[in-house]
Structure 1
Amino acid sequence: MAEVSLTKKEMTTKGKSENSKKMKTDMADMVPIAAMNEDLLHNILLRLPAKSFAFASCVNRFWSSVCNRILSRPKMISAFSRNPDQLRAGEEVLDKVLSEPIRPQFVIANITCGNMEETLTLITERVGSRVPIIVSVVTGILGKEACNDKAGEVRLHSTSDDELFDVANFAILLTIGYLPGMKVDIIPVIQAKGESGAEMEDKFVMDIRNYMSMVSGHAAAPACLILFAEDTHATEPVLHKLDYAMPAETVIVGGQIGEFLHKRGNEPRNVQLQKDDIRVLAGLIFARDRHRPAQAERIQFDTAISNGMSSVDLRYKAANVNVSLGPSCPSTLLTAKRRGEAEVLDGDQILDDIDNILENYIWENDSYLGVIKRRKYSIGLEEKPKIMSSLVFHQVNGSDDQDLLVDGAGIKTGDQFQVYLPDLKVAEAALNDVSAQLRNLKSKPNKPEVVGGFAFVGSCRGDSFFGCPNADSSPFLENFPELPFGGIFCDGEIGRSLILEKGEEKKEVSIQRFLHVYSSVYLIVSYTS
């Protein structure tokens, strides 16, 4: 039997002919889809999950333009899962937040326990390596559950009045956002071995300014900073330097949490620290893109704060102050004088003063000194220092016939303070005020659409404090019941507010209040069409 063989040229020609026929057939099959009218295509694409939507935007220019119009409005989506299996819980919340069209610009993941690296890796695999991600361990989460869209809280369990233990089961809250016209990245604060606090603080501010200069132009300020800070004594001075350096129009919110990992947008994975380096905080920065000014200006960030403390009407001046450096966090021993008096009071005498005013009210376990600290601040060596007054809280840990013992450091002789106590009525009234602020936001003349919300809630609040579930979520639930909001419980709530106090000469003095306790700080993201 004669063998039939084809030359290389004939084989090539035949292959091209068959491929050409297949391509024409495939294109013929695609014509009805590609040629469908814009409204029908828009309605189909609008229902796709994020991954399929991304593929659809690459079909052709027409499809891409329709996809861009769908994503012309910002989105911010949160969901949490109580699934005790860390991997499955992560998949559940990722499936939920990526179940609709979105191009993630940032991801915030908050877990109650478990392995942060595993969560970071899982998220990176699903959203891509160019998306900035923060993963943190927190004392609790709140928001809407991925499996049923019902509002709820997951908190630490306690077996006695004095002990708190980790949540028995893993829980995760995931928040992703897409804000057209904004550039988003993470700027960390990592203290290197031998680096002074002042050097670290200045570097953080300069890193923010350099990023803003690159993205928004010279002298521009961030629209918003969301901070996740480890609960260490190094955090407070960084926050006050930031509060001093950033203009009033920059919204700053956040919380002190247990631990965090971060991955910047230009990094493929979490950066490993050098030996003896310390993570202090990570700031998620939102900068208006100078190349897309029209879109950027339509997005607004607003904050509201529900305070949960009231002050006892006695004012003191710190007299003798000594700092004790403990293994993890410093503490301060102090005596004080009543304002306008010469007698120096020991710790027991100060607390006896409070007892006499409050009579039978039990308060010792949750009392704080609210210390007004007048300090000089500057950035670098060239800037002339300026004075800023801040109200800073230090928890009272005990007293004796010599000193009052409080957490933390930074109190100086001559600093004025009052004792602050948790106050349920104040907290409830403040929640009503926050809810009213959100209602007013809806009624503005430009009719902004609220697209996202996040809350930083004091770890001592929640249903055990209010006696009812979801109290801290109520401003969102009452005003925007369909909003997929999220929030965390933390050990220090970050939010800018300004109060007026009468000084010793009865003149009003502006005092910054930045790091709160027993409070809820709300971030609201809105869009004006």
Structure 2
Amino acid sequence: MAEVSETRKEMTTTKGKSENWKKMKTDTVPIAAMNEDLLHNILLRLPAKSFAFASCVNRSWSSVCNRILSRPKMISAFSRNPDQLRAGEEVLDKVLSEPIRPHFVIANITCGNMEETLTLVMITERVGSRVPIIVSVVTGILGKEACNDKAAEVKQHSTSDDELFIVPNFAILLTIGYLPGMKVDVIPVIQAKGESESDIGDKFVMDIRNYVSMVSGHAAAPACLILFGEDTHATEPVLHKLDYAMPAETVIVGDQIGEFLHKRGNESRNVQLPKDDCRVLAGLIFARDRLRPAQAERIQFDTAISRGMSSVDLRYKAANVNVSRPRCPSTLLTAKRRGEAEVLDGEQILDDIDNILENHIWENDPYLGVIKRRKYSIGLEEKPKIMSSLVFHQVNGSDDQDLLVDGAGIKTGDQFQVYLPDLKVAEASLKAVTSQHRNLKSKANKPEIVGGFAFVGNSRGDLFFGRPDADSSPFLENFPELRFGGIFCDSEIGRSLFVEEGEEKKEVSIRRFLHVYSSVYLIVSYTS
């Protein structure tokens, strides 16, 4: 009886296994026979690591995965976790929560160790060791939080009413992008001891041209440059030379003043500089790949600028100009009212402005808007040409002789006006940018908005506008689902022109490349 019972038990077990196997077969048939649209929607929602495993299942799945990876993406997320390592992991998890094949990485931190951040991004197998990376320290960030996808800003705050003690809130913003048809790499500007700004500017332009020529073709220009500068007097002249050398169709945006580290795509780690060399600039270069021309032309870069300054109706010419503190320069100057012969000292210039502002000059954070007409050329290859640029210098004070302003590069004879922050101008300009972004969606070719990034003047934000997320509003109102990012800068980079009526009653085109109290917006779109 025991043997019969055992035999019946084995038969029951075998029958159960057979039925389970049949059930498994019937369950797996729909997965194998699943149409590609459904499979695409499922795979699209997988995190990057699971997606990598799924691509190895069979040829059909691999084909669908490749199609998913070929779609352009630019994803940003930030974390304000005070633990730098945990914050880095949070933003990595967020930007890699869906499939992407990284072309470039930008990491912005409000404080902390750049080396640790660079190492965190580099060592992870999820990003790849050959991806070009820029890490920078900024005065604040904006975008969507990794933990809840809500828009927010993180900026430095003061611990006293007189703002003498600034306490940075730690936050990290990570931006990863894949733009098919584009080649992307970092090109740095390194200044050796004794090397002139003109020499390093020439070299930077030629390095960019050589890279673009290699990947795009002989006469091509880069589609976009995203720049990060070091807080050094060498940055401004190099940027103006770059603005002169690059064609109008090249989009240029960035942060002029800060700290940064970089890693090029062919480097496995951050390269240490020789002792006397210093970083001046690093640029992410976006060049169209000549081997994939169809997709390359589908990626487009657009910029818009929201300004926040208006001019006081007083015009001057610089008379005597001296630069102090060469490494962190300031300028001492006297000036003449335009059309007059009397030379005014610093106190007289400030009295002029104060009379118009009814003794509220220092409450208004004044700047000099200096028109600099300079000759530019690249090396010895061409005859120098004149380019006029409007550059802002913050007013710091005066004595009985000179007006003191930040920065260098002002020359005797340069014309300038006083500019002040203007909330009405900023609000109107924000509406114009929002409208400009809205028009992108209504283009005949129906572009898909891939990503967005903003470079915002440090003095803007909720205290300036009296409401939160004002600088994010062009993105939030037009593209509410977009995972955009942005940083607060001390001097934002963005190309634009304005027309002024000169002394000879002729219209003169003047470039604005370096801004204050402005927001520079970059939109990346893709046409199917």
After TM superposition, is the score higher than 0.5? yes
Residue of structure 1 equivalent to 2:65: 67
Deviation at 1:38, TM superposition (A): 2.3
1:274-353 counterparts in 2 under 5 A? 274-324=274-324, 328-353=327-352
Superimposed CA distance per residue, residues 428-466 of structure 1 (whole angstroms, 9 cap, x where no aligned partner): 111111111111111111111211100001111111111
Give the distance between the partners of 2:229 and 2:6, measured in 1 at CA: 71
Distance 1:23 1:147, change over 3 A: closer
Compute the displacement of 1:320 (Å): 1.1
In structure 1, C-alpha distance between the alignment counterparts of 2:34 and 2:247, rounded to whole Å: 50
Tell me: CA distance 1:23–1:220, structure 2 relative to 1, closer, same or farther (3 Å): farther
* More off after superposition, 100-109 vs 33-42: 33-42
What CA deviation, in whole Å up to 9, does each residue of 1:354-404 have, x standing for no partner?
122222444466111110000000001122111000001111111122111
Displacement of 1:43 in angstroms is 2.5
Structure 2: how far apart are the matches of 1:73 and 1:220? 24
> TM-score w.r.t. structure 2 length?
0.92
SS at match of 1:44: helix
C-alpha displacement at 1:194, in angstroms? Answer: 2.4
| Bigger shift: residues 81-90 or 119-128 | 119-128
Alpha carbons of 1:360 and 1:334: their partners in 2 closer, same or farther (altered >3 Å)? closer
Alignment check: 8 A CA contact 1:231 1:491 kept: no
SS at match of 2:2: coil
What is the total number of aligned residue pairs between the two structures? Answer: 524
* Residue 125 of structure 1, CA deviation: 4.3
**Matching residue of 1:81:** 79
**Within 1, Cα distance between the matches of 2:218 and 2:53?**
37
Q: Structure 1, residues 8-61: CA drift from partner, whole Å, max 9, x if none?
A: 999999999999999999xxx999866654233322211111222233334444
Secondary structure at 2:5 match in 1: coil
What are the equivalent positions in structure 2 for 1:360-399 lying under 5 Å apart? 360-363=359-362, 366-399=365-398
* Contact 1:130–1:265 (Cα < 8 Å) also in 2: yes
Give the deviation of 1:512 after TM superposition. Answer: 0.5
1:116 Cα deviation from its structure 2 partner: 1.1
Q: CA deviation at 1:90?
A: 0.5
Contact 2:364 2:420 in 1 (8 A): no
Where does residue 41 of structure 2 map in the other structure?
A: 43
| Structure 1 unpaired stretches of 5+ | none
- By how many angstroms is 1:73 displaced? 2.3
Residues 376, 14 of structure 1: CA spacing in aligned structure 2 closer, same or farther, 3 A cutoff? Answer: farther
C-alpha separation in 2, matches of 1:218 and 1:236: 28
Render the CA deviation track for 1:205-251: whole Å, top value 9, x for unaligned. 00000000000000100110000111221110011000000000000
Distance 1:147 1:473, change over 3 A: same
State percent identity of aligned pairs: 91
- Using a 3 Å threshold, how does the CA distance of structure 1 residues 169 and 353 change in structure 2: closer, same or farther? closer
**Residues 270 and 125 of structure 1: CA distance in aligned 2, closer, same or farther (over 3 Å):** farther
Query: CA distance change for structure 1 residues 445 and 14 in 2, over 3 Å: closer, same or farther?
Result: closer
Cα deviations by residue, 1:93-116 (Å, 9 ceiling, x for unpaired)? 100010001111111110111111
Query: 2:186 touches 2:284 (CA, 8 Å); kept in 1?
Result: yes
CA contact 1:112–1:166 (8 Å) conserved in 2: no
Classify 1:333/1:63 alpha carbon distance in 2 versus 1 (closer, same or farther; 3 Å). same
Q: Distance in 1 between matches of 2:62 and 2:77?
A: 28
TM-score under structure 1 length normalisation: 0.91
Q: In 1, are the aligned partners of 2:393 and 2:406 still within 8 Å (CA)? A: yes
Per the alignment, do residues 521 and 21 of structure 1 end up closer, same or farther by CA in structure 2, a change over 3 Å counting? same
Going from structure 1 to structure 2, the CA distance change for 1:481 and 1:16 (only over 3 Å counts) comes to closer
The CA distance in 2 between the partners of 1:404 and 1:152, in whole Å, is 39
The CA distance in 2 between the partners of 1:444 and 1:32, in whole Å, is 41
Contact 1:81-1:145 at 8 Å conserved across structures: yes
Q: Tell me, what secondary structure is at the counterpart of 1:7?
A: helix
SS at match of 2:459: coil
Tell me the alpha carbon deviations over residues 166-220 of structure 1, each in whole angstroms, 9 at most, x when there is no partner: 5454211111111111111111111112222111110100000000000000010
Residues 484-527 of structure 1 show CA distances to partners (whole Å, capped at 9, x for unaligned) of 10000111000000010111101000000000011110001111
- Higher mean Cα deviation, 410-419 or 251-260? 251-260
Contact 1:155/1:167 (8 A) holds in 2: no
- The 3-state SS of whatever aligns with 2:522 is strand
1:259-313 CA-to-partner distances (Å, cap 9, x unmatched) read: 1111111111111111111011110011111111111111110001011111001
Q: Is the alpha carbon distance of 1:18 and 1:481 closer, same or farther for their aligned partners in structure 2, counting shifts above 3 Å?
A: closer
Contact persistence 2:157–2:169 (CA under 8 A): no
* 1:333/1:23 CA distance change after superposition, 3 Å: same
Q: Cα distance 1:99–1:219, how it changes in 2: closer, same or farther (>3 A)? A: same
Q: Deviations over 1:328-372 (max 9, x none)?
A: 411111111111111111111111111222224444661111100
Structure 1 vs Structure 2 CA RMSD:
5.7
Relative distance call for 1:355 and 1:464 in structure 2 (3 A) is same
Give the drift of 1:161: 4.8
Give the secondary structure class of the aligned counterpart of 1:312: strand
> Closer, same or farther in 2 for the Cα pair 1:405/1:364, shift >3 Å?
farther
Deviation at 1:409, TM superposition (A): 1.1
Which is further off, 456-465 or 33-42?
Answer: 33-42
| Unpaired runs of at least 5, structure 2 | none
Change (3 A) 1:204 1:330: same
Check whether the contact 1:157–1:164 (CA below 8 A) recurs between aligned residues: no
Q: 1:436 to 1:196 in 2, by over 3 A?
A: same
Distance in 2, matches of 1:407 and 1:498, equals 23
